[in-house]
Structures are given as C-alpha cells and as structure tokens.
Amino acid sequence: MIKQLIPEGFCLKCQGCCRFREQSSVWAPCLLDEEIQSLLDRKDIPPSTLSMERRLGLILDPEQEGFICPFFNTKDNNCKTYSFRPFECQLYPFLISFREEKVLLTVDLSCPYAKKNVNTKAFKEYTSYLTDFLNSPKQRKVFKENPQIIQAYAEVFDLMELQALDEAE
C-alpha cells in the first residue's frame, strides 16, 4: 500500500473520485496485470468489471448522470474494495503521465484537497516520498511490465520527472 496524503474523512465527503462523464474515460483506473488476476480470482467480482483495455469497466450511476466505478457505493461514498483497491486508485489524485517522451508524476488539481494544498510543505514532502517510491527499481520494473498504467492525461499539473522505464533493472 502507498502511504496516503489525503485524510480519509476528506475523501469521504468529496463527490469527485470514482465518478466519470463517459463510460470509456481515460480517468477510469488502469490495472496492473497482477491486480487483474487477483480480481479475477475473487468469487465476488464479476469478470465484466474489467475491460479489454485493462481498466475497471465503468457502470451507469444509478443516482445521477454519468458512470461510476463498479466498486463504488454511492450511498455512503465508500469503495467496496478499499483494502485491496488498485494501485492507480491508491495513487490518486497523483497520476503517472507520459508527455513529450517523458514519464512524469502529475497531480489532478480537480481534487479539492490537492488544489488547496499543492504549495504546502506537507504536499511537497509527500511528492518527494512518491517520487522516491516510484523511482525505486521495483516500481520501475512494474511500470515496464505494465505500460498501460502510464497515460497521456490532459489537464494535470506536472510535479516531477520520473526515471525512464528503460532504466528498470
């Protein structure tokens, strides 16, 4: 598990995460290969929750327009699989982006907490922690084996350049 920056109570009050405008949104969480197998091994998770693009397959939001993560409970704003949620969900609002031949650690400033705290000391320290974690040989190997996790996100704030994947051991 990745150490978290945003207090859980803040996230539970927010109406942003896990909701999407389109069913084929680039923002739908990508899955690592081992996460896909782990989800398929669970008896309570239907294979239809996984897309061919190695993403969580979004479902219609029963309460409003748009789509939601299949593990999201709109009644209490909780994740049904929080204890084993995918890597990209653990990382959010931070994202691994690809732009101009570079792999970048970015942040989605549509997250109210990130937007409010992006210039604080705690945020900068957490960014440093994440950069070190993501640049570790183990994580670079994971990214090299799972290139789908690195996306060309638009409208994100660039924080740090990460080491190249070809440097993975």
Q: How far apart are CA 18 and CA 94, in angstroms?
A: 14
* Percentage of the residues of the chain whose pLDDT score is greater than 90: 47
- Indicate whether 118 pLDDT > 70: yes
With a cut of 60, say whether residue 169 has pLDDT above it.
Answer: no
pLDDT value for 30? 92
Give the pLDDT mean for 110-119.
94
Q: Does position 12 have pLDDT exceeding 80, yes or no? A: no
Report the pLDDT averaged over residues 124-152.
93
In the chain, domain spans: 8-85, 93-167
